[in-house]
Amino acid sequence: MANPFPGMNPYLESPDFWPQVHHLLISSIFESLVPQLLPKYIVDIEKRVYELRGENSLLVGIPDVTVQRSPIQTNPTSSNIAVATPPVTALKVRLPVPVEFREAYLKVLDTETREVVTVIEVLSPTNKRPGKGREMYEEKREKVFGSRTHMVEIDLLRSYQPLPVFGNDIEASYRILVSRRNERPLADLYLFNLLDMIPQFALPLRPGDAEPIVDLQALLNGVYDRAAYDFRIDYTAAPVPALSETDAAWADSLLRDKELRE
């Protein structure tokens, strides 16, 4: 069965699915752009690698540990006899070990000069939630904004705070930012919600070159089909993260109409 939602499927945002969705979507964008951009441009998949530690690692929420001793039993009538202390009972705990993250993104390069023309990012939770992941991504983002490189930033996650832009007072669940180097500090921001189809956008290239249209909706639907998410997702349960009350009511009606809920 095809993706039952007209646009972004909120069930794909679950931590159980999103890492794979992110990987497959990056690969799908790559595969769709390569034949459209050759021979003038090539596309590379790059990886950003970093470690998260302590509370920012995946192994957060370590329980407080209280070590208790069994009371020492003594014989009051035989105080001169040594009594062994029972061993301390060990508790199994988890440690905040460093967790290595590898985040893929795309680069469009000039075939002859190998100069980076456009960067394409599909955001992960680590890019949006407070901590080292967001700090590193914001640093990279600012460097691109100060360079001669175009940038496309795709945010299909409702969780955490969106990356900063100025001049937007419209709240939306999802967004696509297209920043052209020759138009900065202005940029195009596409806002959409659960009820909307994902908007198409033109991939910025060098002046005079034909810019391919990125149909992200079709690519996401293709990922949904190839990965067989219709067999994996339990549509009788609520999505994670939870929807707003209004969106939850709309999604419930939609899924009932498609006979995915009773």
Lowest mean pLDDT among 71-75, 209-213, 238-242: 71-75
pLDDT of residue 164: 92
Tens digit of each residue's pLDDT (9 = 90 or more) over 125-151: 989 999 888 998 999 999 999 999 999
Residue 183 has pLDDT above 60, yes or no: yes
Residue 23 has pLDDT above 70, yes or no: yes
Q: Please state the φ and ψ torsions of residue 146, each to the nearest 5 degrees.
A: -95, 10
Nearest to 198 by CA among 1, 2, 3, 6: 6
- Measured distance CA(224)–CA(125) in Å, rounded: 20
Residues 6+ apart with CB under 8 A from 37: 43, 108, 205, 212
- Measured distance CA(182)–CA(192) in Å, rounded: 25
**How many C-beta atoms lie closer than 10 Å to residue 162's C-beta?**
20
pLDDT of residue 29: 98
**In which element (H, E) is residue 145 found?**
helix 132-145
pLDDT of residue 61: 28
pLDDT of residue 155: 98
Tell me if residue 178 falls in helix, strand or coil.
strand
